[in-house]
Structure formats: structure tokens, C-alpha cells
Amino acid sequence: MRLKHLNFEDNIENSAMHLSFGERNAFSIVLFMYECLTKNPDLVVLDDPISSFDKSKKFAILEMLFRGEDSFRDKTVLMLTHDIEPAIDMIKIFGGRHFQPMPVASFLKSRTGTIYEIEISKSDILSFAQICDENIKSCDNDIIKSIYLRRHYEVVDDKGIEYQLLSNLFHKRVAPQIIENDTERVMTQAEIDSASTSIQEKLASFDYSMLINKVLDDSVMVDTYHTAQNGYEKLQIFRIINKDNHRNSVIKKYINESFHIENEHIMQLNPHKYDFVPDHIIVECDDMMVS
């Protein structure tokens, strides 16, 4: 195989020096694709080929791999990735209109040495606001419902008085405070009542006085932690109990990122069905809850 530069006729010595790390990765994927097309294997396995690229390059590489005439189209390809964006693009956004045949996506998780596979359909990929609404309706624990509701307000960028009241709850403030003109003051009873009335439109049983007593009771919170339905909920409860502390800084960063919006993806999978928190994170939290 001989590669020619479109704008340079002479030979380029040590071409790797002229390519960025990302360009070299993309180039290696292209070479691998052509090698596979030459050898024509029954199965091609791609191990996380695009996670290191930015959004536009990710989709460009998917196009190159699966849509062109000289591509993996009509081949059996297993692509493994930690990145949800390919599923969003290939299943939710474009699907059968763009990628043919229609790709099949699955979520893999490992729990205590057992691998589980759960199919991902178009209807499973939702905005986190939708996920919060679904889980508020299906959950029977008011603390966990309030966690999802706070996240809902954060996702839709509504950090008004309702969001602030819920945040006070998880910061264990008996007298809730409000940030106004970059200064913090105690909420008036009228403000608490107004925020509570608005919250009750989504969570009818919301009562700040009742919930703050539960949040301040470690035995109630530990029971809530152990009865939580998935790793995401466990992390939220763990963070509230331990006031943002963990002896392991890596675990602490993971927990804090799950509590606040630091995930750039608008579309996500519901943690009730797809428990994306790694086993070792929950083991660490379980150990601390026991100690």
C-alpha cells in the first residue's frame, strides 16, 4: 500500500512526526479496516476504537467504518466501548435511516464475577430529565424521589427556590438557606411554603420538616442505602451520609461527579435498568458503611 499526500508530491520522511496522536489513531483504524477487508474474517472485534476522539471525529469514523462502499457494512462486527455516544448516534438518532443493517446494541455489566447483557433499544435512550420523571413515579422512597427531583431541576437548568430547598435537605440544614445576589441568607417560611407547594406538584408527599429528620437520622439513611435499587442511588445516599467525604480521593471524585452534572451527554440510560456504577465503587462504599 502506498499513501500519497494530496498537496505534496515528494516523499515525507518519518510521517509519524507530522501526525497528532489522534490522527495516528484514526490512521491505524483505517489500516485495520482495510486489512480486515483483505482477509475477510467471519467476525471483526473493535475494542473501544473511538472513545479518545472528539464528537465530530467519532461520528466521522463511524461513517467511515460502517457506511462506505469499502467498509465493514454487511460484515459481522462486535464493537466494545465505554462511550454511550455510538449507541445514541447509531440506535437513537439515525438508526435504520443511516446505518444498514440496523445495529444491535447491548449494555454489559459485571457483578460479583458474572457478566450480564441487557439490550439497548431506541426507547431506552432518554434524557436524564425523562429518567428522573420515570423514577420519581416508580420509586416508593421519598428521600430517593427527592434526589431524582433535585437532579431534574439541575438537568433542566432550573436552580430556583425549589432546587435550593432540595439542596438544603441534602446538606442537612434544619433551617434552609437561599443564595440571593451572591449572598446566603435563611429562607423565610413563606419561601419554604412556596417552594414546597411547587415541589408537591411532582412529589405530592414532600414535607421538608419530615424529610430533614430522616436525613439527619443515620440509621434511617443507612437502611435507605442498603435498600436502594441501583448503584447510582447508593452513591447519592452515601454522599449525603458522609458529607462529601471518602478516604479514597478517586472514589470521592467519582461520587461527586455522579451527584452533580459533569456528564456531557444529554441522553442517558436509566440506572434502574442499566446499573452503570462499577462493582469496585459499590464495594468501597459498602466497606465504609460497615466501618
Provide the residue ranges of all domains of the chain, joining segments of one domain with +.
Answer: 15-103, 127-290
pTM equals 0.79
Q: What residues are paired with 268 via a beta bridge?
A: 126
Measured CA to CA, the distance from residue 142 to residue 139 in angstroms comes to 8
Q: Quick one: how far is CA 108 from the chain centroid? A: 14
Straight-line distance from the first to the last Cα atom of the chain, in angstroms, rounded to the nearest whole number: 62
Band of pLDDT at residue 21, cut at 50, 70 and 90: confident
Q: Which residue has the higher pLDDT, 220 or 285?
A: 220
Cβ atoms < 10 Å from Cβ of 62: 21
Q: Over 60: is that where the pLDDT of 288 sits?
A: yes
Q: For 250-276, what is the mean pLDDT? A: 74
pLDDT at 119: 95
Q: Over 80: is that where the pLDDT of 146 sits?
A: yes
- Residue position matching grid coordinates 462502499: 69
Band of pLDDT at residue 16, cut at 50, 70 and 90: low
**What share of the chain in percent tops pLDDT 70?**
93
Q: Do 234 and 228 meet the contact criterion of CB atoms below 8 Å apart?
A: yes
pLDDT at 2: 64
Q: For 61-78, what is the mean pLDDT? A: 88
CATH of segment(s) 15-103: 3.40.50.300
pLDDT at 262: 46
Q: Do 143 and 213 meet the contact criterion of CB atoms below 8 Å apart?
A: no
Q: Do 255 and 235 meet the contact criterion of CB atoms below 8 Å apart?
A: yes
Q: Over 60: is that where the pLDDT of 263 sits?
A: no
Q: Is the dihedral of CA 20, 88, 132, 255 positive or negative?
A: negative
Q: Which residue has the higher pLDDT, 264 or 63?
A: 63
Listed in sequence order, the residues at least 6 apart from 107 whose beta carbon sits closer than 8 Å to its beta carbon are: 117, 118, 119, 120, 269, 274, 276
Band of pLDDT at residue 3, cut at 50, 70 and 90: low
Cis peptide, bond prior to residue 103, ω within 30 of zero: no
pLDDT at 1: 57
Q: What's the mean pLDDT when you consider all of the chain?
A: 87
pLDDT digits (tens, 9 = 90+) for 183-219: 899 999 999 999 999 999 999 999 999 999 999 999 9
